[in-house]
Chain A
Amino acid sequence: MDLKAQNISKRFYRKAGESNYFYAVRETDLELPSGALSVLMGRSGSGKTTLLSMLSGLLSPDTGTVTADGRDLYSMDDRKLSAFRAARISVMPQGRAVLDTLSAWENVFLNARIAGVRDESLVPRALELMERFGIPDLKEALPKELSGGELRRVMLCRSLLLSPEVLMCDEPTGDLDDQNTALVLDSLRDYAHQGHTVLLVTHEADAVSYADRLLQMDAGRISTPDPV
């Protein structure tokens, strides 16, 4: 599924109610093709997360449209958009997005639970994912018992469990060691090459070598330098 953004922008006010605003993302056209790993890089505060939020249907842009599979995301009502996101667009946020009352295993199934998918085949897939990312022993662990890196891999397993057509990861390798970073980047590229649309937001320099498409963000503006 291709994801297409036309002329999207987002501005924020410095202080609520004041006319003094700035653009987190300036008017941008962008296309994320399926089957390719798009890597979005840029300094902190350059607007990467804001862009990812708009592309994934979580933040309504001030101007422009985002279309997925030919459907304008922000013209859908909340119920439709949520259902669409749950089924087809997976987001792995930069922050800690787990339920503390659920075990790691249950957190891996959170998307499936919300999307209402009760497929027996998800169990071996979840096991395989946790195995692949080196956290098979943490099934019963509670989030508060996990390290940042472990938690991030739980979230990654969750994002991949339903094999979403679109996957967006914000700094997924933030607190991972080199070996695990390579593992994650490798998996994301593989996943993209299976025909999925993958957007990776990172400031990890290594990611450049995995990118099929490199996007550079600077003060809300996107440029597309040639892949190195």
Chain B
Amino acid sequence: MRDLVFRNLRGRPGKTGALVLLVTFLSLTLCGGGLVLSSLRAGLNSLENRLGADVIVMPSKAALKTDLDTLFLQGTIGPYYMNMSTVNKIGRTEGIGRMTTQVFLSSMRASCCSIPIQVIGFDPETDFTVQSWLAQSRQGTLKDGELLVGTKVNVNVGESIKLYNVSCPVAGRLAPTGTGLDTAVYCNLNTIRSLMAAAGALGGYSYINGDPAETISAVYIKAADGVNVDDIVNSINIHVRKVQAVRTRSMVTGVADSLGGVSRTVTVLMVVIWLLIWVILLVAFALLAGERKREFAALRVCGMSRARLSGLVFAEAFCVSAAGAVLGILLSLVLVRSFSSLIEGALGLPFLLPSSGTVAALATVSMLVCLLAGPIASAVSARKLSRVDTGLILREG
């Protein structure tokens, strides 16, 4: 009986292939769609964690020019800076729990730099947004001149990147965040200041006038426990000039809102496509059943019971479904992995492949659903074939 199933399937490779392909699409829709959805969710979570801060303060000019919602998708806010006295003023605001500063600089598409890239200088002493993402690094703290790279930067730990004619060794790599931050490199404030000096010397950053030590791009604030974040935001916006404070959660909420919309669309699309394919599968099984009546009549005449005839149909559908499900799962992993940056760009949302546990869970669910959906789709034909009229082959001359 079992070998009969395999013989039947192998005996008509074209039709078996077509059925497997249909189930592959079922599983691809389910697993691929699920992967996209959970990648978006993982991206959002990561963005929230990455921000770590409740408030981000940046120069008003930067705030004007930057779409806040996409700030962190693109990486940095551009060449706008505030000076240390402003930072100190911000620091005097009541209710601040932690505060850290960052400096942004872009390398140039020129011979002085090995790659055009965003450089983010952070203060290792006070930092609470970058170092928690350290994935792989040498022991010890980040030394002057050393870089951490985002997960998508194509330079290995131990190699160097040349920035404004300064060769900077890569000391570590950050975990993926699914945002534009993945394509940036990170260094301490000393390093970025010497890089700015080097850039100024090359004439690349004519707008940096004055002391690089006085140049800050953004201030990140974590509110002390029990403090209303909005009070901090308002206080800074009222008392400190030329800067704008923004609640990071409003940024994330923007992303979360569009994520909700995209999720709904993807889910609806997934369900519709899935059902459509399932109906096609059902029709395909039914059509094949019509073709196979004589075969089943022969089995019946040879003494096979109705239950075993249906069993045969179900077993075939089960094998087809298993093969299709596995193919679909593998295919969706490959597709989502290789097109993740494309999807990220198209949706304008952070996109981060979920943990292997989530992937395994998704794969398992897709597998189970396909193993159910395939045989159920074949139920009509199983019924038809198990009740086949043996007169078909008994009477024919």
Contacts and interface: CB of A to CB of B under 8 A. Distances in A.
A114 B394 contact: no
B303 A95 contact: no
B397 A86 contact: no
A78 B294 contact: no
Nearest to B296: A99
Contact of B395 (A85, A86, A94): A94
A49 B395 contact: yes
Contacts of B269: none
Contacts of A224: none
A111 B299 CA distance: 8
Contact of A83 (B294, B305, B390): B305
B397 A52 contact: no
User: Size class of A's contact patch?
Assistant: 35 or more
Most central of B8, B298, B307, B396 by chain A CB within 10 Å: B298
B92 interface: no
Contacts of A113: 1, 4
A49 B394 contact: yes
A111 B304 CA distance: 9
B241 interface: no
Contacts of B8: 99, 101
Given A82-B303, A101-B11, A114-B304, A95 B394 contact: yes
A53 B11 CA distance: 30
A79 interface: yes
A52 B395 CA distance: 10
A174 interface: yes
Nearest to A98: B298
Main SS class of interface, B: helix
B292 to A, nearest CB: 10
Interface in B374-397: 390-397
B302 A100 contact: no
A30 interface: no
B10 interface: yes
A97 B302 contact: yes
A101 B4 CA distance: 9
Given A52-B394, A53-B394, A94-B397, A100 B303 contact: no
Interface in A114-172: 114-115, 158, 170-171
A86 B303 contact: yes
A101 B394 contact: no
B394 A96 contact: no
Interface in B336-385: none
Closest 10 CB pairs of A and B: A101-B11, A86-B303, A95-B396, A95-B393, A82-B305, A97-B298, A93-B394, A97-B393, A85-B303, A79-B305
28 contacts: A59-B391, A78-B305, A78-B306, A81-B305, A82-B306, A82-B308, A86-B304, A91-B394, A93-B390, A93-B393, A94-B393, A95-B394, A96-B294, A96-B393, A97-B297, A99-B7, A99-B295, A99-B299, A101-B7, A101-B10, A101-B11, A106-B7, A110-B298, A111-B303, A113-B1, A114-B308, A170-B394, A171-B397
Given A87-B303, A94-B397, 9 more contacts: A58-B301, A82-B305, A86-B304, A94-B394, A96-B393, A97-B297, A99-B298, A101-B8, A114-B308
Interface of A: 44, 49, 52-53, 58-59, 78-79, 81-83, 85-87, 91, 93-102, 106, 110-111, 113-115, 158, 170-171, 174
